[in-house]
Amino acid sequence: MIQITLPLGFLGTVYREIRQALVDMGEMFDLLDQPAEISDRADARPLKVTGGEVVLDHVGFGYTAERPILRDVSLTIPAGHTLALVGSSGSGKSTIGRLLFRFYDVTAGAIRIDGQDLRDVTQDSLHDAIGVVPQDTVLFNDTIRYNIAYGRDGATEDEVIAAAKAAKIHDFVMSLPEGYDTTVGERGLKLSGGEKQRVGIARTLLKNPPILLLDEATSALDTQTERDIQDSLRAMGEGRTVITIAHRLSTIADADCIVVLQKGQIAEQGRHDELLAKGGRYAAMWAAQQAEDLD
Ligand code: ATP
């Protein structure tokens, strides 16, 4: 008996650990796709988030020495503010996300959160402070409850339900015959893109991080779903510092600051109205997207 249960129990633990590791990486897949060998300094301290101010101070970066990707990028996102990053494909938006998560170190300048250089803090504490809502939330082949509760160890049923309500997925869950016990994922109920994203939002709400990194979905959701998701994301952003990697300009018009990246440099920054009035690159992108939406 013991001979059978011990290995099985052990395998179960290993399985769970592998599965968690996979989902941690899977969740980052779009935004943070290539973890590099970054390790904590011997004297690294836990990050102390006092407000959640994020500063990029003359940041330079390249994945290889020959090809610079970001050049002299300086940005300040005051605590509790929302910054949207826009720019054409390959302009460096996701790279900024990866650097903030410290999947790579900057090659020039520094990134600081509440005055602390990311290279001086432990990676665990940094990752605890930042919630990532990726384009495509990875679901485990497990219950909806498990998929939401994964956001925080030891979350209670009440907390899971509160997060699901805030992410506007609770009513949908209750409409399923097995409710929160419904198995989802590859081998369970397939959720739509919008439903999956809401599970991801509920998960992140449970984690309750002071800083959010949102990688806006490029995949088309219907207008109502997109509006609902935007509402949930906006509600989640209240009182937090939010960095949104945006593909559709209509969703970020109310951001405190919009940064237009062009070939790894800041081409323009300001509020939506200011940038429109300027008649520059953002205004041109806006006009192009309006025309596309009319098609
Ligand atoms: P998109 O809107 O298409 O997602 P983006 O603005 O987010 O684009 P990034 O993903 O930041 O662009 O990529 C910026 C540049 O860095 C691109 O030219 C890309 O080819 C390059 N790049 C991205 N990841 C890597 C990597 N792991 N190794 C080498 N080059 C990379």
Residues 242-274: tens digit of each pLDDT: 999 988 888 888 899 999 999 999 999 999 999
Ligand 1: nearest atom to the Cα of 98: 11
Beta-carbon count within 10 A of 38 CB: 13
ipTM of the predicted structure?
0.97
123 CA distance to ligand 1 middle (Å): 23
The 8-class DSSP code of residue 38 comes to -
Give the Cα separation of 86 and 282 in Å (integer): 9
Nearest CA residue ID for atom 19, ligand 1: 90
The closest of 77, 107, 113, 78 to 95, measured between CA atoms, is 107
Determine phi and psi for 275, rounding to 5 degrees.
-70, -35
Identify which of 34, 38, 63, 73 to mutate to test ligand 1's pocket (most ligand atoms within 8 A of the CB): 63
Tell me the C-alpha to C-alpha distance, in Å, between residue 209 and each of 25, 47, 83, 113, 213.
18, 13, 16, 13, 10
In the structure, which protein residues have their CB atom closer than 6 angstroms to any atom of ligand 1?
34, 63, 69, 87, 89-95
Give the Cα separation of 256 and 270 in Å (integer): 8
223 CA distance to ligand 1 middle (Å): 28
Q: What is the pLDDT of residue 251?
A: 81
Nearest CA residue ID for atom 3, ligand 1: 89
pTM for the complete prediction?
A: 0.84
Query: Which pair of structure tokens corresponds to residue 45?
Result: 């301290």
Ligand 1: nearest atom to the Cα of 67: 30
83 CA distance to ligand 1 middle (Å): 19
22 CA distance to ligand 1 middle (Å): 22
- Tokens 């720019």 belong to residue: 87
The closest of 106, 101, 96, 187 to 140, measured between CA atoms, is 187
**Dihedral, 277, 282, 283, 285 alpha carbons, nearest 10:** -170
Query: Which pair of structure tokens corresponds to residue 266?
Result: 């800041």
164 CA distance to ligand 1 middle (Å): 33
CA 30 to chain centre: 10
Nearest CA residue ID for atom 9, ligand 1: 92
Reported as type and span, the H/E element at residue 244 is: strand 241-245
- Please say whether the beta carbons of 117 and 48 come within 8 A: no
Determine phi and psi for 239, rounding to 5 degrees.
75, 5
- Tokens 């609902």 belong to residue: 228
Give bridge partners of residue 131 from the DSSP assignment: 212
Question: What is the radius of gyration, based on Cα positions, of the chain?
Answer: 20
Identify which of 30, 93, 261 to mutate to test ligand 1's pocket (most ligand atoms within 8 A of the CB): 93
Ligand 1: nearest atom to the Cα of 87: 6
Determine phi and psi for 47, rounding to 5 degrees.
-65, 135
294 CA distance to ligand 1 middle (Å): 29
- Tokens 């998929």 belong to residue: 147
Give the Cα separation of 291 and 81 in Å (integer): 30
Residues of the chain with pLDDT under 50: 1-17, 19-34
